[in-house]
Chains A and B, each alone.
Chain A
Amino acid sequence: MELLAKKVKLIRPKQEGYWHRLGIKLKKYLPIMAFIVPAAFMAVLFGYIPLIFLLAAFKTNFNLSIYTPFQALFSPNWSFVQFTKIFGENADEFFLALKNTLVINGIKLVLIFPIPIIIAIMLSEVKNATLAKLFLIILCLPNFLSWPTVIGIWQNFFRQSDGVINSIFGTNIGWLTSDNGPNGISLFRFFVISFDAWKGCGWNSIMFYTAIVSIDKSYYEAAELDGANKFQQTLRLTLPSIFPTIALMFIMNITYILSCGFDEINLLANLDPNWKLYETTLDYYLYNQALAENADFSYATALGLFNSTVSLTFMLVGNSFCKKFLHRGLW
């Protein structure tokens, strides 16, 4: 009898508190939690420690010295003068950069964004798998070329001497430079947008293509029986079915509206000596402020901080919007 009581006691589950459960979990997971350490170390080193230098954005003047960085960072000359400089003293430059960025990204959003969707719809019409794959391989290729390569390729077409366009039409136009461009118009925006489209459209279509391929085929059979032709099927069936993907990509593009590819803009800017005068974007302005000969550490950091904060806000809002209405987030 006593023995039985002892057994029953053994079988009865222990009262498990939060800490007890945590202890068991830790015992189970602590060995693999060590796997996080290398990545976390790198994240701290280049993601978190540099954030300390953002304090420099709140200084009147700031001379960073490698030997006494923290003395300078915590010296008591706090102020918001760098931020008033962005919107006061340098407002012209800043708002020009902001306007150009918004214009370029806005045009991309309206004119370039639909192209991958169209490519995906047309690609889904190709029933021969080998052929579809071949199209996909060709159209995705530019995405894997570097920006110097892409600009180099198109430079062969648009350069002034020996450029293909000029030698076909017998003209002598410096397409990539603003001073002797066609009728003195700078084609900068056109080039940024179209080179970007050339590079990215095929690749961006893959996401829509996989969404279309995963639509249930019986819907299409039903639509065919009802006498809907391909145009009607696309409009009434394909587009509504892939709408979540479209919305997700659209919101994702909106969240990136303050950054329009530094890489290509820097390259195009280098090709045009007069370029900086009237076409600059936020990324490029930031880079120029940071890496100029006599860079003002405080001002550049304040600009960077402003840009990062606004981008972060955009992304968080965009992500929570996606999670709420589309039930899937950006991350």
Chain B
Amino acid sequence: MIHKKHLKKLIRKTKGDRLFLGLSYGFLIFFSILVILPIMNLISFSLTPEGNNAYVRFIPEGFTLSYFAYFFKDSQFITSFGNSVLLTVGVTIVSNVFMALAAYPLSKPDLPMKKPILVFFIITMLFGAGILPTKFMLQGLGVLGTLWGIFLLSINNVFNMLLYKSFYEGLPKETIEAAEVDGVNNIQLFFRIVLPMSLPVFASCCFFTIVGTWNAYSSVLMFVGSTHPESWTLSYYIYYLVSQFNPTGSSIIKTTNLVNYQSASIVISTIPILLIYPFIVRYIKSGITLGSEK
């Protein structure tokens, strides 16, 4: 019988092992630098005063907040920021409530018509009608070119529904059976027992909805467009800056400092995501594992 302590001594780290460990750390650090440097460069550009752009690498050349200050006076930017906040909050609440509710009956193994209902939802995820039919639908509802249209389009998220469903299915059977024996009906069971136990999946789904809604620009491009600047979202505003289009006659597009303005606007638009990112990291892994075990 070999004791564990002796085992450790017996198995010496070979040269190959140490090489492997070194390579691992080396590559991980390399990849991390590859992620961090461009972001540092972005922040540097947003802080560098006029005339120093040619010298900017990864630290600011000088210091100014004038680019940030500009966006607090740019009415289009403020409108877009407000729209993004409204849309993100609205979609996150409504979409997750709808999906969490719909997933609950579907998590019951002996629900009548379970399979047809599931297929009904999954088809909408797999088979889209395309841009023009959707656009026509929005036009028919009178919400084309408004934030309401984007809101309505973003609500159904079948992927999240499946995440909720598989989480409910994985909840401990004993607790739920005990509640059923106590005479709790299905609705009370959901609100009193299932929902409080599902906070992790709720948090990660909300996070994914927040990020997805905040970052989406192509739906705004297709169903709002440049002709309705009052309904732009922030990522669409940045899309315009990055693409150097100028429909609203904004004064910064023409300046030689567009780089700095653009970088500043990107930094501002990323701050909300960065603020919630650390809080949610611990939930991410559970969410991903759920998705993989579907």
Q: Which residues of A contact B (CB under 8 A)?
A: 22, 25-26, 28-29, 31-33, 35-36, 38-40, 42-43, 45-54, 56, 64, 66, 69, 118-119, 121-123, 125-126, 133, 135-142, 144-149, 151-157, 159, 162, 164, 167-168, 198, 201-202, 206-207, 210-211, 221, 224-225, 229-231, 234, 245, 248, 262-263, 266-267, 270-271, 286-287, 290-291, 295, 297, 300-301, 303-305, 307-309, 311-312, 315-316, 328-331
Contacts and interface: CB of A to CB of B under 8 A. Distances in A.
A229 B14 CA distance: 7
B139 to A, nearest CB: 6
Contact of A66 (B27, B139, B162, B186): B139
B178 interface: no
Nearest to B38: A153
A262 B187 CA distance: 42
Contacts of A53: 129, 132-133, 136-137
Contact of A308 (B106, B127, B158): B127
A148 B235 contact: yes
Interface residues of B, number: 105
Contacts of B216: 146
A190 B291 CA distance: 30
Contacts of B239: 148, 267
Interface stretch (B70-78, B197-205, B261-269): B261-269
Interface of B: 7, 11, 14, 16-17, 20-21, 23-25, 27-28, 31-32, 34-36, 38-39, 41-42, 45, 53-57, 98-99, 101-102, 104-106, 108, 110-112, 117, 120-137, 139-140, 152-153, 155-156, 158, 161-162, 185-187, 190, 211, 214-218, 221-222, 235-236, 238-239, 241-245, 259, 262-263, 266, 269-270, 273, 277-278, 281, 284-285, 288-289, 291-294
A29 to B, nearest CB: 6
A145 B234 CA distance: 13
A46 B153 contact: yes
Contacts of A40: 102, 117, 120-121
A43 B126 contact: no
Contacts of B124: 43, 46-48
A329 B244 CA distance: 43
A-B complex: 4 closest residue pairs judged by Cβ atoms: A304-B130, A47-B124, A146-B215, A50-B129
Contacts of A157: 38, 41
Nearest to B269: A149
A104 B156 CA distance: 30
A305 B35 contact: no
A33 B105 contact: yes
Contacts of A305: 130
B201 to A, nearest CB: 16
A137 B288 CA distance: 14
Contacts of B39: 141, 153
B20 A156 contact: no
A331 B243 contact: no
Contacts of B244: 270-271
Contacts of B277: 137, 141, 144
Contact of A162 (B132, B259, B284): B259
